A and B are shown apart, each in its own frame.
Chain A
Amino acid sequence: MQTSLQIKTKPIKLLRWRKIPWTAVIFVMPSVAAFLLFKYYPFFQVFYMSLFDYKLVDGPGRFLGLDNYVLLLKSTTFWIAVYNTFAFFILTLVFVFWVPIVQALFLNEIHRWNRFYRFMFLVPTAVPTIAGIILMKWIYNPDYGLLNGLLSKVGLGPYGWLSDPHMVKYAIVVPGIFGGGLGLLLYYSALQGISKEIIEAAQVDGAGPWHRMRMILLPNLKFIIMIQFMLTLAITFLTFEHILVYTGGGPINSTRVIGLMVYETAFKEYRYGISGAISVIIFLIVGIITYFQLKLSKVS
């Protein structure tokens, strides 16, 4: 009995090893190639680049070790950029981040025409970011803009919204309120997923509707809020397109963020090594904050 069993299993095992699932390999091959070429290779290249005085022609150029990093940490512009980036993050949290949460919580209480309202919340999102900025810049225009026009009617202004270093950060962050449509959908769908039993149980226990919103609905959004928080963090640290179009980093560096420095050092100053070093620092900052965020969420 035993011998016959052994004879049976061996060839099957051999066959399984030999039989590579060719279709599967062919199916994933293009994606693997694309991810290696367009994600992993550039990712490691950034680290590699940051160690050199990187030259496009004739290979990596002079090896500098960590000199690029030292140079960066000594430069005042870099620290201004770090400060600005954190400032933008805080301003986003204060002015923009909570808006879709509140919108979703209240939208959840409205049953009539709900789909229509959801659509209306999406409408401003339809305007492409750059088109929206062009519009906002026209509204902010100090000489012909709508905002100064309206303010002049009550005797205020004119203000240089985008040319005043104290005002410009607010001017860039606040229009973000209009772009929360997709975030709102996330929160809303999470609210819809809360089981009716929990809510009814709370009702029986005597929790009023406001109380329920605070004690049941909001805590149930915690997970999504956390994800959105990290996303906002990553976005404020990494995206700078809007700043590039709004102000290009001015006036007097008041909107220069570290993402913008990655772009400018590489494509305006051709210092690819420095640019890579900044990218690495961004990876580190986002990584560290994400780590603490996850740790905090586990504790609570």
Chain B
Amino acid sequence: MKNRRIREKGERSLKFTAYLVTMVCVILPLLPLGWMFSTSLKDNGSVYQFPPSLLPKMPQTITITLDYTGLEEQTPKDYELDAMKATWFPWKIFQNEPVGEVRVIGVIDQQVVYEAKTPSYLFHAGRPKVLPTQLFSNELMEQKLPFIKEAGYSDFQIIAEGGLMEITAGNSEKAISTQFSDYLKSSEYITGQLVSVDQNKNIWRLFDNYLSLFKLSGDSQLNFLRYFSNSMVVTLTAIVLQLILGGIAGYALSHLFSRRWSVWLTFFFVATLMISDNAIIVPLFLIITELHLVNTLWGIILPHTAWGLSIFLFKGFFDQLPGELIQAARIDGSSELRTFGRIVIPMSIPIFTVVGVMAFIPLWNEFLWPLIVARKQEVWTFTVALNALQYNTSPTILITSSLLSAIPLLMVFIFCQGLIEKGASWTGIKG
């Protein structure tokens, strides 16, 4: 059977090219994004490998078994000190190895007496304060133990009715466990007898860079949670202000003013689209200084209340609303405010969401203005923080937080794709 229509010459080649171009253009940007994700899973050592490996190394759980059989009676604190020394000292020396977790198990007569666990994100969060150097001593750990406990870096538990444990002496012949056991054997700090050091893969510790962002939040420099929340506060407050101010102004322009006034005022607002923010940034900063808003989030937010595009979009939308309905409400004696709140707003949800979504993108991305206004760390937005910390922060932390910073916009794109496309076509056709 012949096809229902004649195939045009060139149709096939066009379809083929179209798919080829689209596929290439879709996949190409995914490569750096994939690299970003892979880097965010890497440990501090392998991130500095050259040539770089495409995939992160699998984190390893190191299990150290210490035997206390035949030694004099130990207090729980002694056990804990011993466990901490066995965890932190060797780990500090091999801190660039892909260790995901270190577990220490203490046994007496094949019976488990305690267990200690330290995941890598907590180790790396605590490392600078607990062990700034490799000069170890018994006193040092005695000093630091309360701090480790308070911050909750290591989990330590005495096991009263410990089950029997099959002890197999000797080590697995794996790189990291051998390094650990070599160190522990030669170390004079550990009371317990080293029985074995084991090494297993632990896929869950791949995501420790993400967890460490949350743990670093107490730290003054790398408080990314705070920077993200600052950005969020700035973005959302500015959007709300833009929606309120732009909404009422757009409504007044399209329904409340006489035509002549409306035209002039619209020009007054929309002409400012030609004034670029970057060109007036110096006097703008002087104004914010006058208002004593430097180093405040309000200083970042307030200039955003003047956004010509939102008024333009609002006016364009309100112009299309049926005037009869508004007239009818007026005749019924409803005040202008009431008409706006009860009749206009419910009909205008689409424009509010479109403007909100369109405003979100530049606001979340904004860098230069916060860089100028927010000079103190407490008010940094994440873009300012990324820039300021780029030279003295581990690339894993930087890339991980960069990746996280893409999530809000990704969410917006997933849930509001239609609205963005609507906004694009509105601004495109009109502006």
**Which chain A residues have a beta carbon within 8 Å of chain B's beta carbons?**
21, 23-25, 27-28, 30-32, 34-35, 37-43, 45-46, 49, 56, 99, 102-103, 106-107, 109-110, 115, 117-132, 134-139, 143-146, 148-150, 152-153, 175, 177-178, 182, 185-186, 189-190, 192-193, 203, 208-211, 213, 224, 227, 234, 238-241, 244-245, 259, 262-263, 266-267, 272, 275-276, 279, 282-283
Contact = CB atoms under 8 A, between A and B. Distances in A.
B28 to A, nearest CB: 8
B428 A227 contact: yes
Contacts of A25: 252
A144 B303 CA distance: 41
24 contacts: A23-B256, A27-B248, A34-B305, A35-B308, A39-B306, A103-B22, A110-B22, A118-B417, A119-B417, A125-B413, A126-B413, A127-B402, A129-B365, A131-B401, A135-B402, A136-B32, A150-B51, A182-B424, A185-B425, A203-B8, A210-B14, A262-B281, A279-B279, A279-B282
Given A31-B311, A106-B22, 14 more contacts: A23-B335, A32-B249, A32-B268, A38-B306, A115-B417, A127-B405, A128-B409, A130-B365, A135-B36, A137-B390, A149-B51, A177-B29, A185-B424, A276-B282
Interface residues of B, number: 97
Nearest to B358: A182
B337 A35 contact: no
A122 B278 CA distance: 26
Interface in B145-166: none
A121 B25 contact: yes
A34 B242 CA distance: 11
B51 A38 contact: no
Contact of A38 (B302, B386, B406): B302
Contact of B265 (A28, A106, A127, A234): A28
A186 B205 CA distance: 43
B404 to A, nearest CB: 9
Nearest to A228: B428
Interface stretch (B60-68, B98-106, B113-121, B283-291): B283-291
A45 B336 CA distance: 37
B223 interface: no
A135 B276 contact: no
Contacts of B303: 38
B406 A240 contact: no
A56 B251 CA distance: 39
Contacts of B311: 31
Interface in B1-52: 8-11, 13-15, 17-19, 21-22, 25-26, 28-30, 32-33, 35-36, 39, 47-52
A227 B431 contact: yes
B33 A117 contact: no
A77 B367 CA distance: 25
Given A39-B306, A279-B280, A144 B421 contact: no
B367 A153 contact: no
B245 interface: yes
A275 B281 CA distance: 10
Interface of B: 8-11, 13-15, 17-19, 21-22, 25-26, 28-30, 32-33, 35-36, 39, 47-52, 245-246, 248-249, 251-253, 256-258, 265, 268-269, 272, 275-276, 278-287, 289, 302-303, 305-306, 308, 311, 335-337, 361, 364-365, 367-368, 372, 382-383, 386-387, 390, 395, 398-399, 401-403, 405-406, 409-410, 412-414, 417, 420-421, 424-425, 427-429, 431
Contacts of A263: 278, 281, 368
B284 A130 contact: no
Contacts of B280: 39, 42-43, 45-46, 279
B8 A209 contact: yes
B249 A224 contact: no
B372 to A, nearest CB: 7
Q: Which 7 pairs between the two chains have the least Cβ-Cβ distance?
A: A24-B256, A149-B51, A131-B402, A27-B252, A189-B425, A45-B283, A42-B283
A188 B423 CA distance: 13
A50 to B, nearest CB: 10
B372 A267 contact: yes
Contacts of B413: 119, 122-123, 125-126
Contacts of A40: 272
Contact of A178 (B29, B279, B302): B29
B384 to A, nearest CB: 8
Contacts of A193: 425, 429
Contacts of B279: 46, 238, 262, 279, 282-283
Nearest to B428: A186
Contact of A109 (B18, B26, B49, B282): B18
A97 to B, nearest CB: 15
Given A45-B283, A115-B417, A189-B421, A224 B275 contact: no
B424 A186 contact: yes
A30 to B, nearest CB: 5
B291 to A, nearest CB: 9
Contacts of B253: 28
Nearest to A186: B428
Contacts of B398: 134, 138
Q: Which of B281, B302, B361, B368 has the most CB of A within 10 A?
A: B281
B33 A124 contact: yes
Contact of A135 (B49, B368, B399): B399
A135 to B, nearest CB: 5
Contacts of B428: 186, 189-190, 224, 227
Contacts of B382: 128
A35 B268 contact: yes
A39 B337 contact: no
